[in-house]
Structure 1
Amino acid sequence: MPTDLPSDWSRWRGEVDLDSYDERWRRMAEAGQDPHGEAALVMAYAPASVLDGGCGTGRVGIELARRGVHVVGVDPDPDMIAAARAKAPGLRWEQTGLESLALDERFDVVVLAGNVVPYAAPSVRAELVAACARHLTPG
C-alpha cells in the first residue's frame, strides 16, 4: 500500500472488502440500473485508447475494453490491481501512483472515475494531474 495516501483512504480500505465492493455493481445491474455511466460518458468521445487512472478493481476499464477500447489501468493499491487482473487478465494493469506514472504510451482519454483526486494525498495532486496530462495524445 502506498505510504502517501490520505487517512480517509486508509480508513475506507480498512473497512471495505473488495469482493463486497464489486458485488455492489453486480447488484445494481441486476436491479436494472446502469453501473457503467462513466464508460458511457467516455464512449461519447469515441476514444481508441483510455488510461483508467485509479482503476480500482477494474470496473470502468473492463467495460471500456468490452466496448472495444484499448485500456490500461493504473492504481497504487496492490489489492485493487490484483482484483482487476483476476477479472481481466488480458488487460494491462499497472500498480503505481498516477503522480509517478511514466508509460511509453499516450491515450485519447484519461479517466479518473470516482474519488481518485480526493483520495490522492494533497502533496501529490498537482503531480498526478500533470502526469495524466503528459499521457494524453496531442489534441
Structure 2
Amino acid sequence: MTDYTDVRHAYDTVAADYAERLPDTRAETALDLAMVDAFASAVLADATEASTAPVLDAGCGAGRMSAYLAARGVAVRGVDLSPGMVAMARRDHPELDFAVGSLDDLPCGDSEFAGVMLWYSIIHTPPPGLDRVLAEAVRVLRPGGHLLVGFQSGTGTRDVAPAYRRLGHEVHLERQLYSADEVASRLAAVGVHEVARLVRRATADERDDQAVVLARRT
C-alpha cells in the first residue's frame, strides 16, 4: 500500500487555509463542471430517486465538490484521508456526511454506490499505487455504476510544497501527472470502461493541462 503519511500531514496542516481559499468551484472551468454535471446526470438517470443512487466523493477534501453534487440532487457522501480536511468539510457543510478514510482502503461496502468521483484525488498516488486506488473505487461501485476521475494531465511529478510555504506552511507534498490514455487503460483493466473524456489546455494560473475521464462499470 502507498505511504500517505506526508500527504495526510500536509493537508492536516493547510486545511483551514485550503477551505478559506477554495470554498467552492471557482478553480473549475465551465468545461470541467460540464463533466461533473454529466456524471451527476448519468447517476440520477439510473435512479428512481436520489436516495437510491448514492455517490461517493472519494478524496473530498473540504467538501466543496460534495456540496456541488448535492446541489444537483445527488445523495453524496465524502471520504478523505486528512482528518483536518474532514473537519473543515463537516464545519462548512454540516448537512452532508463525511468520514476519514484512505483511497486504497475505503471505509465502504462492496457495490455500495451508484457513482464514485475521484476529483483530483489520484494526484498524490504514485504510479505503483494507482491500480489499487482505482480497484478500490470499483469495489465500492455497483455494476453499471459511473466513475469520474479528474487530474492534471501529463507525465512526471510536481513539487507543490512551495505554494503552501508562501502561506507559511512547511510541508512536503508532491503530485503526479497522468495522461488520459493511461488512466483510461488502467480503468479498463479493473472493469470500468471509458464513456467520455475531456483534455483541456492550462488556463489562468494552472501549470499543467487538465483531464477528466468519465467511465462506467460493466
Q: Which range, TM-score by smaller chain?
A: 0.7 to 0.9
TM-score (ref. length: structure 2): 0.50
Q: Is the 8 A contact 2:66 2:76 kept in 1?
A: yes
User: Counterparts of 2:15 and 2:103 in 1: how far apart (Å)?
Assistant: 23
**SS in structure 2 opposite 1:98?**
coil
Residue in 2 aligned with 1:45? 42
TM-score (ref. length: structure 1): 0.74
Residue in 2 aligned with 1:133? 138
Do residues 74 (structure 1) and 79 (structure 2) align? yes
Distance 1:95 1:11, change over 3 A: closer
Q: Is the 8 A contact 1:71 1:92 kept in 2?
A: yes
**SS in structure 2 opposite 1:118?**
coil
User: Counterparts of 2:10 and 2:38 in 1: how far apart (Å)?
Assistant: 26
User: Counterparts of 2:107 and 2:138 in 1: how far apart (Å)?
Assistant: 11
Do residues 85 (structure 1) and 90 (structure 2) align? yes
Residue in 1 aligned with 2:112? 106
**SS in structure 2 opposite 1:52?**
strand
User: Counterparts of 1:28 and 1:91 in 2: how far apart (Å)?
Assistant: 20
Give every structure 1 segment of 4 or more consecutive aligned residues whose post-TM-superposition deviation is greater than 6 Å. Answer: none
Q: Structure 1: give runs of 5+ residues left out of the alignment.
A: none
Q: Is the 8 A contact 2:56 2:117 kept in 1?
A: yes
User: Counterparts of 1:38 and 1:56 in 2: how far apart (Å)?
Assistant: 19
Compute the RMSD of aligned alpha carbons: 3.3
**Higher RCO (CA-CA < 8 Å; seq separation 6+):** 1
**SS in structure 2 opposite 1:103?**
coil
User: Counterparts of 2:10 and 2:83 in 1: how far apart (Å)?
Assistant: 15
Residue in 2 aligned with 1:4? 3
More helix by share: 1
Which amino acid is the alignment partner of residue 23 of structure 1?
R
**SS in structure 1 opposite 2:141?**
coil
Q: Which has the greater radius of gyration? A: 2
**SS in structure 1 opposite 2:62?**
coil
User: Counterparts of 1:65 and 1:18 in 2: how far apart (Å)?
Assistant: 22
Q: CA deviation at 1:79?
A: 0.7
User: Counterparts of 2:98 and 2:128 in 1: how far apart (Å)?
Assistant: 25
Identity of aligned residues (%): 31
Residue in 2 aligned with 1:23? 21
Q: How many residues align?
A: 133
Residue in 2 aligned with 1:97? 102
